[in-house]
Structure 1
């Protein structure tokens, strides 16, 4: 009889420990979610439709900053004829295509 009593005691101790660990991990998750900044959850995306008025303008630092702000882009990339560019799509980036003279010919997100 003592052997089965100790086995039951060990089993109950393991169950209790498992319950405590499960409760600890469950209680952490909602706290982490509640503490997260909602702005981090949904980064702003670029909308090139809002900046098409800049086509035909000479590219300058001012124009680049204004186009980025108006489109909601978090970053910009200027592409000149013959420039190599990665093919990765970044919904937060505004691509500004210019001709050899530095005139904006296309604005697109990605």
Structure 2
């Protein structure tokens, strides 16, 4: 009984410590695609090239990578959104025709 509890406690501690570890990389602070690492935070100015283009999944992914964001979405004129601000998310706002009119983080 004591051995079982000791083993379970050891496994629990190992699991907690594994969750705290970082992957570590030899990239020298640079992201794989060559953009500066910014901890996944959005920098909307990197995606300004999308303004005036037709919103699409490909454009969204290019803009997400260029901004350094972890996530991205396209917002249409009447989409319902919450007021939460997420520093790692890029928003591409499109007009009725699906053309990007604004790029922002949140």
Scaled by the length of structure 2, the TM-score of the pair is: 0.65
Q: In the alignment, what sits opposite 1:104?
A: 100
Query: 3-state DSSP class of the match of 1:64?
Result: helix
Query: 3-state DSSP class of the match of 2:48?
Result: helix
Distance in 1 between residues matched to 2:23 and 2:87, nearest whole Å? 18
Matched, 1:65 2:42: no
Structure 1's unaligned 5+ residue stretches are: 1-27
Structure 2's unaligned 5+ residue stretches are: 1-12, 25-37
**How do residues 22-37 of structure 1 correspond to structure 2 at under 5 angstroms?**
32=17, 36-37=21-22
CA shift, 1:36, in A, is: 2.0
- What is the aligned length? 77
Higher helix content, 1 or 2: 1
CA shift, 1:43, in A, is: 3.6
**Which aligned segments of 4 or more residues in structure 1 are displaced greater than 3 angstroms?**
none
Matched, 1:80 2:72: no
Q: In the alignment, what sits opposite 1:22?
A: none
Distance in 2 between residues matched to 1:103 and 1:92, nearest whole Å? 23
Distance in 1 between residues matched to 2:43 and 2:76, nearest whole Å? 21
Query: 3-state DSSP class of the match of 1:97?
Result: strand
Query: 3-state DSSP class of the match of 2:77?
Result: coil
RMSD of aligned alpha carbons: 2.2
